[in-house]
């Protein structure tokens, strides 16, 4: 193990209804980190998606010392160019006091295991170009791609 790589005894598991209060705190903090406007409507809507077994979004959490410290939201996506299915990690957030202790690494490892067991071709995610702390981990556990992301606003009639 290299210096700075700490092993974790954290438990990665699916989100449970009892996690709601802590999940809401972490998801609000995630949105604040990315400078998204405060919106309890969005927080509640996403909680509803994650607890609806019919919705495409799912969530994992990492529990450390009996407390949820990391959340990760993901979904499967079709890859027509490859003729395969991948897993898209939409949101990954670790409580500031728990960072650098291996919980995000453990969550990504669980997602890659899920992808492998389902025959998926990739686990993919994006992050902000100025999120250097996260990129230090991501550069160790994944391949940085050459793709540039664009967002276009929908046109309403």
Share of the chain above pLDDT 70, in %: 94
Confidence (pLDDT) at 5: 41
Cα–Cα dist 16/51, whole Å: 8
- The average pLDDT across 140-145 equals 96
Cα–Cα dist 69/97, whole Å: 9
- The average pLDDT across 76-86 equals 97
Confidence (pLDDT) at 146: 93
Q: Which residues contact 65 (CB under 8 A, 6 or more apart)?
A: none
> Cα 83–87–93 angle (5° rounding)?
160
What is the reported pTM? 0.90
- Is the pLDDT at 8 greater than 60, yes or no? no
Chain mean pLDDT for the chain: 93
3-state secondary structure of 63: strand
Give the pLDDT band (50/70/90) at residue 3.
Answer: very low
- Is the pLDDT at 42 greater than 80, yes or no? yes
Sheet holding 11-14, edge to edge: 11-14, 58-64, 67-79, 84-94, 123-124
Cα torsion through 7, 99, 145, 109, rounded to 10: 40
Confidence (pLDDT) at 157: 84
Give the pLDDT band (50/70/90) at residue 10.
Answer: confident
Query: What is the CATH class of 11-141?
Result: alpha beta
């Amino acid at each position: 193990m290299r210096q700075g790589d700490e092993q974790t005894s954290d438990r990665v598991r699916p989100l449970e209804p009892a996690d709601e209060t802590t999940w809401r705190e972490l998801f609000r903090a995630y949105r604040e980190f990315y400078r998204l406007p405060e919106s309890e409507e969005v927080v509640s809507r996403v909680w509803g998606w994650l607890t609806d077994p019919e919705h495409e979004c799912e969530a994992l959490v990492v529990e450390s010392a009996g407390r949820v410290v990391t959340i990760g939201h993901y979904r499967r996506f079709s890859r027509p160019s490859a003729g395969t299915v991948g897993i898209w990690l939409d949101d990954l957030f670790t409580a500031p006091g728990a960072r650098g202790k291996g919980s995000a690494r453990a969550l990504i490892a669980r997602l890659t295991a899920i992808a492998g067991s389902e025959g998926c071709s990739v686990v993919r995610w994006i992050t902000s170009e100025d999120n250097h702390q996260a990129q230090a981990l991501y550069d160790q556990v994944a391949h940085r791609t050459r793709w540039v992301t664009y967002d276009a606003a929908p046109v309403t009639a």
